[in-house]
Amino acid sequence: GAGVSQSPSNKVTEKGKDVELRCDPISGHTALYWYRQSLGQGLEFLIYFQGNSAPDKSGLPSDRFSAERTGGSVSTLTIQRTQQEDSAVYLCASRTGDTPYQETQYFGPGTRLLVL
């Protein structure tokens, strides 16, 4: 596709259940980011991938959060034993990865997660 896609668009789950969020970056983009946007807040950095490697996982809020990327393309963000405070919009972004600070990130439409 032409842009970054994310699925599902919306997810409602019960507290304690696990969820998987998917991001499909722009073809050829080697750099991929996950952000969390809580209601009325800015973007909170979660994790960054360069290819399949995640050199910076420092933004993951707890060990319940994990992410992986395979084949240098699709990434999944997994939240185990979800809590109500995990409710937020999870945004994925990608860029080409050639020259970090010169590049524009392109965002997906996000997944809105609601934990009941």
Partner 1 sequence: AQTVTQSQPEMSVQEAETVTLSCTYDTSENNYYLFWYKQPPSRQMILVIRQEAYKQQNATENRFSVNFQKAAKSFSLKISDSQLGDTAMYFCASTTSGTYKYIFGTGTRLKVLA
Q: Is 41 exposed, middle or buried (0-12, 13-18, 19+ CB in 10 A)?
A: exposed
Q: For partner 1, give the closer residue by CB, 19 or 93.
A: 93
Give the span between the Cα atoms of 60 and 47, in whole angstroms.
6
Q: For partner 1, give the closer residue by CB, 1 or 101.
A: 101
- Nearest distance, CB of residue 9 and partner 1, angstroms: 9
Taking Cα atoms as reference points, which of 72, 78, 81, 86 lies closest to residue 114? 86
Query: Measured between alpha carbons, how far is residue 90 from residues 26, 31, 64, 75, 96 in Å?
Result: 17, 17, 15, 13, 21
**Length of the chain (residues):** 116
Q: For partner 1, give the closer residue by CB, 28 or 100.
A: 100
Give the span between the Cα atoms of 116 and 43, in whole angstroms.
22
In the complex, the residues that contact partner 1 under the rule CB under 8 A are 31, 33, 35, 41-43, 45, 48, 50, 55-56, 89, 91, 93, 100-102, 104-110, 112
Q: For partner 1, give the closer residue by CB, 12 or 16.
A: 12
- Nearest distance, CB of residue 107 and partner 1, angstroms: 4
- Nearest distance, CB of residue 15 and partner 1, angstroms: 24
- Nearest distance, CB of residue 24 and partner 1, angstroms: 15
